[in-house]
Amino acid sequence: METTSVKPQFSEAAKAEIERICKQYPPERRKSALLPVLHIAQAEFGGWVSPEVQDLVAEVIGIKPIEVYEVSSFYTMFNLKPVGKHVLEICRTGPCMLRGSDELTAHLERITGAKVNGATSPDGLFTLKEVECLAACGFAPIVQVREKYYEQLDTPAAVDAMLTELRNQVHRPALPWEETGLPNALANN
Amino acid sequence: MGRKLLTEHINVEGIDTLEVYRKHGGYRSVEKALKTMTPDEVVEEVKKSGLRGRGGAGFPTGMKWSFLAKPEGVPRYLVCNADESEPGTFKDRQLMSKLPHLLVEGMITSSYALGANTSYIYIRGELLYVLRILEKAIAEAYAAGFLGKNILGSGYDLDLHVHPGGGAYICGEETALLESLEGKRGNPRNKPPFPAVQGLYARPTVVNNVESIAAVVPIINDGGEEYAKIGVGRSTGTKLFSACGHLNKPGIYEIELGLPVEEFIYSDEYCGGIWKGRDLKAVVAGGSSVPILPKDLILKTAAGEQRLMTYESLSDGGFVTGTMLGSGGFIAMDETTCIVRNTWSFSRFYHHESCGQCSPCREGTGWLEKVLHRLEHGHGHMEDIDLLVSVAKQIEGNTICPLGEAAAWPVAAAVRHFRDEFEWHVTHAKEAAQPGAVYQSKSVLV
């Protein structure tokens, strides 16, 4: 989708959640809220944080945009480019590798048509991203999609079940502060 | 059957709710500490328990607490390190998601001991779903009067918050964690000053691992001396091990320190042996940073004694023939495992996670990854093997934080114990580069 020149805005529910979070830190330390607010921004604006969204984050917290850029580029959870509807984060670290993460990655590339750490699937549904240890090594191999862990994906049936569940998701799952009816359609899909 | 001080009720239906948790003795340590003990008495019990930091370093928790500076009128903080990211380690995630109130209770009792009125749980960003579970538990604790103003009429106030990271292993290092909590890149700080003097917002701060904080609960309930009766020597109490890799029953196990490694791997009460009826090749006993040991050395020390799951026994023989207990991330590898490939995977991890602040680590981890990549993919040279050892040595001790060592140790140990397998990757390059190719290495003792 083309980027528009309209300035992005947080939903009212997200604004309230951001203010709740900012109050967790001393008043002169609102910058502490940066990582939690970036997570909210990524969830609100279609799974990635554009420069415009990062500027908005700076504005609501009351810090300089550069303070957001230098942090968003350091932490690997923030996607700085547009992504598909679902970002599949595949753990590739040793313990998952021992239980078949290489095979899982190859299998996911084959059936979705997406390239790992590259092009989103032609249908726009899936982006495949290799990540490092997700702290679930006893249930390897693992894929994380947003806040959910899909574990023991060592059979085609388990992988199919995950993909079917995701294909059937019209909207992303509601976040706690959205329970009172906020439309949670994916912003850029 | 060993005693379970932390996980006894982990599978009880509804144990994540305050009501059920209370029915199983929950929040007794808060009542006992706030109503009958001074903060210093709580610290004293933790000292007596001999509890050692469960995040990996094994530093005595009570002693760490006693270092906290207490200048008049300056707020101080307790920060819980829930940035569990050491490959092979997943105990804190299990503990927090199933027993959120145990951590909340531990945070209240520990914060009281340290005189902190605001405390934070810094949880890795990938675990946002666990953050939601913790926030729910915290809300219940506020409603029940265990958090907030004048807790249980004691006059003690405490606010507790959960803060997510953004996906960076380095933030498990305590000063990087504090930088991150301040909304910055996770670059570790030079020390001194230590966090006990200048931590969060340049104020005195204690940073403790999730499991250490949870252990404070049984220590206060039953007394430090009771806790210290469990275990062997300076390895007191119980410890959570995350077992993964080629085991029949991977998962988390709370063990009494002192259990023989052999029993842990093969007994049906624990990991139930190696999967698919295969033989064990090697073990990484304490998270990916600690030296890998071949089967014979993980089961018995070089002197032929049974290896026990204690800080001392696992490190018996130093890095020549021993390893470390670390975070308790126990990775077992069967006979079909390619050690070069596994070492490359770990090096790729450390290269990816290096914050880039110190040249030896930023450049060195890249070299390790590249050299291991070419060895694994059939383009290596014999001199590469010593090059790995040389690069590892040049990283070690030359960085601000221990990520450098964490990257260097696994490589040095793999070459030390499996040099013949590395050599085979050069002499049989084409064969070695085939997917699934494995050399049946005999372990080589230096």
Measure B318 CA to nearest chain A CA, in Å. Answer: 24
CATH topology of domain A86-167: Glutaredoxin (3.40.30)
The rounded mean pLDDT for chain B is 96
Contact A99 B182 (CB under 8 A): no
Residue of B167, B183, B242 lying closest to A137 (CB–CB): B242
User: Which tokens is B289 given?
Assistant: 């940073």
Residue of A nearest to B331 (CA): A95
B115 has a pLDDT exceeding 50? yes
- CB contacts, 8 Å: A95 with chain B: 87-88, 244-245, 331
Contact A35 B164 (CB under 8 A): yes
Rounded (10°) CA dihedral A171, A174, A178, A179: 110
B80 has a pLDDT exceeding 90? yes
pLDDT band at B441 (very low <50, low <70, confident <90, very high): low
Q: Does B161 touch chain A (CB under 8 A)?
A: yes
Domain boundaries, chain A: 12-72, 86-167
What is the tens place of the pLDDT at every residue in B335-367? 999 999 999 999 999 999 999 999 999 999 999
Residues B322 and B307: their CA atoms lie apart, in Å, by 10
Q: Does B244 touch chain A (CB under 8 A)?
A: yes
B126: nearest Cα among A80, A76, A48, A182 = A76
Q: Which of A78, A93, A130, A146 to mutate to test the interface with B (most CBs of B within 10 A)?
A: A93
Average pLDDT for residues B260-287, to the nearest whole number? Answer: 97
Q: Does B62 touch chain A (CB under 8 A)?
A: no
Residue type, B304: G
Contact B185 A74 (CB under 8 A): yes
Residue of B nearest to A63 (CA): B183
Q: Does B354 touch chain A (CB under 8 A)?
A: no
- CB contacts, 8 Å: B355 with chain A: 74
- End-to-end alpha-carbon separation of chain A, Å? 7
Residue of B nearest to A100 (CA): B245
Q: Quick one: pLDDT at residue B446?
A: 36
Residue of B87, B127, B159 lying closest to A93 (CB–CB): B87
Task: List B residues 112-141 in contact with A (Cβ-Cβ < 8 A).
Answer: 120, 124-129, 132, 135
Q: Quick one: pLDDT at residue A170?
A: 82
Q: Quick one: pLDDT at residue A5?
A: 66
Contact B87 A77 (CB under 8 A): no
Contact A135 B85 (CB under 8 A): yes
Q: Quick one: pLDDT at residue B411?
A: 98
Q: Does B352 touch chain A (CB under 8 A)?
A: yes
Contact B251 A138 (CB under 8 A): yes
Q: Which of B345, B349, B438 to mutate to test the interface with A (most CBs of A within 10 A)?
A: B345
Measure B138 CA to nearest chain A CA, in Å. Answer: 13
Measure A138 CA to nearest chain B CA, in Å. Answer: 5
Q: Which of A20, A21, A30, A35 to mutate to test the interface with B (most CBs of B within 10 A)?
A: A35
Instruction: Count interface pairs A-B at CB distance under 8 A.
Output: 150
Q: Quick one: pLDDT at residue B159?
A: 98
Q: Quick one: pLDDT at residue B2?
A: 86
Q: Quick one: pLDDT at residue A108?
A: 98
Average pLDDT for residues B102-111, to the nearest whole number? Answer: 98
List, in order, residues 6 or more apart from B108 with CB less than 8 Å away. Answer: B30, B141, B146, B147, B151, B158, B160
**ipTM value:** 0.95
CA distances from B48 to B7, B29, B218, B219, B224 (A): 22, 16, 13, 9, 5
Residues B378 and B389: their CA atoms lie apart, in Å, by 19
Q: Quick one: pLDDT at residue A52?
A: 97
To the question of pTM greater than 0.90 for the whole model, the response is: yes
What is the tens place of the pLDDT at every residue in B290-316? 999 999 999 999 999 999 999 999 999
Contact A97 B342 (CB under 8 A): yes
Pairing of strands B77-82, B118-123: parallel
Q: Quick one: pLDDT at residue B230?
A: 97
Residue A22 annotated as lining a ligand binding site:
no
Task: List B residues 216-235 in contact with A (Cβ-Cβ < 8 A).
Answer: none
User: Which tokens is A88 given?
Assistant: 């599949």
Q: Does this chain's domain A12-72 share its CATH topology with A86-167?
A: no
Q: Does B411 touch chain A (CB under 8 A)?
A: no
Q: Does B25 touch chain A (CB under 8 A)?
A: no
Q: Quick one: pLDDT at residue B442?
A: 55
Measure A82 CA to nearest chain B CA, in Å. Answer: 18
Q: What's domain A12-72's architecture?
A: Orthogonal Bundle (1.10)
In DSSP notation, B217-248 reads HHHHHH-HHHHHHSEETTEESEEEEEEEESBS
CA distances from B366 to B176, B194, B359, B407 (A): 21, 29, 11, 10
Contact A133 B86 (CB under 8 A): yes
Q: Quick one: pLDDT at residue A6?
A: 82
Residues B415 and B28: their CA atoms lie apart, in Å, by 50
Contact B183 A94 (CB under 8 A): no
Q: Does B251 touch chain A (CB under 8 A)?
A: yes
- Alpha helices per DSSP H over B144-189: 174-181
**Cis geometry, peptide bond prior to residue B410 (ω within 30 degrees of 0):** no
- CB contacts, 8 Å: A75 with chain B: 125, 165-168, 186
Q: Determine what percent of chain B is predicted with pLDDT higher than 90.
A: 96
- Alpha helices per DSSP H over B61-209: 61-66, 91-98, 100-114, 128-143, 174-181
Pairing of strands B329-334, B280-284: antiparallel
Q: Does B92 touch chain A (CB under 8 A)?
A: yes
Please answer whether residues B244 and A137 qualify as being in contact, where contact means their C-beta atoms are separated by less than 8 angstroms.
yes
- CB contacts, 8 Å: A71 with chain B: 166, 183-185
- End-to-end alpha-carbon separation of chain B, Å? 38
Rounded (10°) CA dihedral B260, B261, B266, B269: 60
Name residues of chain A where pLDDT drops below 50.
Answer: 1, 180-189
